[in-house]
Amino acid sequence: MAKRRLISFDWAMKKLLRSKANFEILEGFLSELLRDDIRIQEVLESESNKEDSRDKFNRVDLKVRNQKDEVIVIEVQYERELDFLQRILFSTSKVITEHLQESDPYAEVVKVISVNILYFDLGHGQDYVYHGSTTFRGIHCDDILELSRYQQGAYKKKELYQIFPEYYLIKVNSFDDIAKDSLDEWIYFLKNEEIKDEFNAKGLLKAKDALDIMKLPESERLAYERYQEDLHYQASMLHSSYYFGISKGVEQGRMEGRIEGEQQKALDIARNLIDVLDDATIAEKTGLSVEEIARLRVE
């Protein structure tokens, strides 16, 4: 059976998954990732709602609120960023402050879950899905700090880590294309833009139908193809600039090394002439300044 090409997840987030009619797709993905029955209540304002030059490529994000009043930020990132981890920390902090009114107590801080779908290699590790959360461990007893019964009732949280932001990093390109569970079926789609007939993860059946490129109106299909071409172009430009930068840096390093070597040679000659010639004559013969010769005399 011929493979059916589907719309990439980032394009779906931009154009289709913001509609309540397609929440089932996003709910399925988040339910499989978070191992919970996620229900989306609404799509919130996020950076990718804005139409600008970055709208075509590089980064897509979608912010939703679930039935537990938690805010989930889903981001697709293509380009490598050295400070990406710091940026998602800043993003979650920003969400927290945006959703806390000036007169609210800190107990009203919103729970934020950051889901990051990455098409570049981030850090070093053998896995392709990483989860980060906050715990407090005793430095003497090695125990985990827990919420009191009063706090559990007041915050409606059972565990302390549930108060703090959580992070999920999905390194798509590190996935080996072997779907071992329902989450892997989703990651297979994220990487290959294809859903196999035997896949049955939550939300995938709806995605297989709703994200079929051939079912798009002609104008949207052409726009999607242009978007894909933009991504390829940007990837090529990034690759070229990266290697050009390395080459330029190597050449600059060689030039700086030659200049430094010549400078050192001139200094060595000047030191040998200090006892036999005056500063002006040494400067003329070595190319050094009179001030540099004077400094050598007092070393």
Decide: 60 and 14 in contact? Cβ < 8 Å: yes
Place 289 in a pLDDT band, splitting at 50, 70 and 90.
Answer: confident
Percentage of the chain exceeding pLDDT 90: 53
Least-confidence region, from 9-18, 54-63, 71-80, 215-224: 54-63
Show the tokens assigned to 76: 């697709």
Which residue from 83, 85, 72 is spatially nearest to 114, judged by alpha carbons?
Answer: 72
Is the pTM higher than 0.85? The answer reads no
C-alpha separations of 95 from 33, 47, 79, 98 in Å: 21, 12, 23, 5
pLDDT tens per residue across span 67-125: 999 999 999 998 778 889 999 999 999 999 999 988 899 989 999 999 999 998 888 89
Q: Looking at mean pLDDT, say which of 30-44, 76-90, 263-277 comes out highest.
A: 30-44
- pLDDT score, position 123: 85
Task: Quote the radius of gyration of the chain (alpha carbons, Å).
Answer: 29
Q: CA 231 to CA 82: how far, in whole Å?
A: 20
Domain ranges of the chain: 9-215, 252-297
- pLDDT score, position 53: 39
Average pLDDT over every residue of 154-165: 93
Percentage of the chain exceeding pLDDT 70: 84
- pLDDT score, position 58: 56
- pLDDT score, position 55: 44
Show the tokens assigned to 57: 């490529």
Q: What is the DSSP letter of 3?
A: P
Average pLDDT over every residue of 151-155: 91
Torsion from C-alpha of 207, 33, 83, 174, nearest 10 degrees = -80
pLDDT tens per residue across span 222-257: 777 777 776 655 656 555 555 555 555 555 666 666
Q: For the chain, what is the mean pLDDT?
A: 84
State the chain's maximal CA–CA distance in angstroms. 91
- pLDDT score, position 235: 56
- pLDDT of residue 187 exceeding 70, the answer is yes
